[in-house]
Structures are given as structure tokens and as C-alpha cells.
Amino acid sequence: MEMVILIGLQASGKSTFFRTYFANSHELISKDLMRNNKRPSRRQAQLLTAALEAGRSVVVDNTNPTLEDREALIKLGRQYKAKIIGYYFDSTLQDCLNRNQQRTGKAKVLDVGLYATLKKLTPPDYSEGFLQLFQVAIAPHGAFNIQPWEVEQTDGKPEV
């Protein structure tokens, strides 16, 4: 059983990545599915607990930018002995702003949200408890380039 944690700015490709690689095997947990809930964090914890208790693998598809956001998830995952796997979406702010502009309807968010997430964004680290960490870049023709996480290759936050 796995708990996959996606980490990245809005419009960095997380939900598309979920649909491409995990939709058939993992349950989607996302606060985007709880927009009308008054306490989305509590609801998310309930859904996560239910899935893990039943032995289902999950993908947590939020921006998950801070250590605290991830700590709560990892703690829960570990209680159920899930393998904790992280994917960091390494995109520039400008590329995310551009992709966000191209979205329509509810998928399109306010640009200020991207700036706010960038400010908080702390790249993940194995010390948080990840068994595996990868970095993901959007490649040409709708593909994703997935590389093992190497701290030396990045100075942390995406370039502005």
C-alpha cells in the first residue's frame, strides 16, 4: 500500500500526472474535490484514514507546499505502514502562470494563489520520511520527465 504525495505549484501538472499514472491503481484524495466542505483538512484526514484502513493506496493531490502539510500526511501514512512516495513538480512560476491562464472554468485559479504557494513552497527531503522521492518536469508533447530526486540538481524553489 502506498501513500503518494504530490508537491508543486498550481498548474504544475499534478492532477494530469495523477490521471496519467495513478488513476487505475490509487484513490484520489484532493481538497479540490471538497470545495464545499467547511473543514477540508478534517475531511481529507477522514478519507485518507478510511482508504488506508481498507488497504487502498492513495495519491494526495494538493500543492502540499510546507513541511507541516506533509508531516501530517506522512504521520498518518506511517501509522498504516504505507510506503510514502513523493513527487516534486519542478516548474518555473512563469510556466505555471502560463498554463493556468490557458485553463478554463473552475480549474483556473487566481494568479495570487500561485505567488502565495511559491512563497511557502519548501522542496521535500528524505528526512521527512519519504521512502522514495522523484522530481517531475513537463516534457514536450504532453509527456512527463520523471527523475530520481537529487538535491544537488536543484537550488530548491522553482526559478521565477
| Footprint on this chain of Mg ion (rule: CB under 5 A) | 14-15
CB nearer ligand ATP, residue 1 or residue 137? 137
Tally of CB atoms within 10 A around 147? 12
CB 6 within 8 Å of CB 18: yes
What residue 154 binds from Mg ion, ligand ATP, none (CB within 5 to 8 A, per partner kind)?
A: none
Give yes or no for residue 142 binding ligand ATP (CB under 6 A): yes
What is the C-alpha to C-alpha distance for residues 136 and 13, in angstroms, rounded to an integer? 9
CB 85 within 8 Å of CB 132: yes
Residue span binding ligand ATP (CB under 6 A) among the ranges 42-50, 66-74, 123-131, 142-150: 142-150
According to CB under 6 A, which one of 4, 14, 58, 123 is a site residue for ligand ATP? 14
CB nearer ligand ATP, residue 11 or residue 82? 11
Give yes or no for residue 13 binding ligand ATP (CB under 6 A): yes
What residue 11 binds from ligand ATP, Mg ion, none (CB within 5 to 8 A, per partner kind)?
A: ligand ATP
Residue span binding ligand ATP (CB under 6 A) among the ranges 52-60, 78-86, 103-111, 150-158: 103-111
Residue 13, SS3 per DSSP = coil
Cell output for 56: 487502498
Of 23, 155, 145, 26, residue with least CA distance to 87: 145
Of 80, 159, 81, residue with least CA distance to 123: 159
In this structure, which amino acid lies at residue 63?
Answer: T
Residues that bind ligand ATP (CB under 6 A): 8, 10-16, 32, 63, 99, 102-103, 107, 109, 138, 142-144
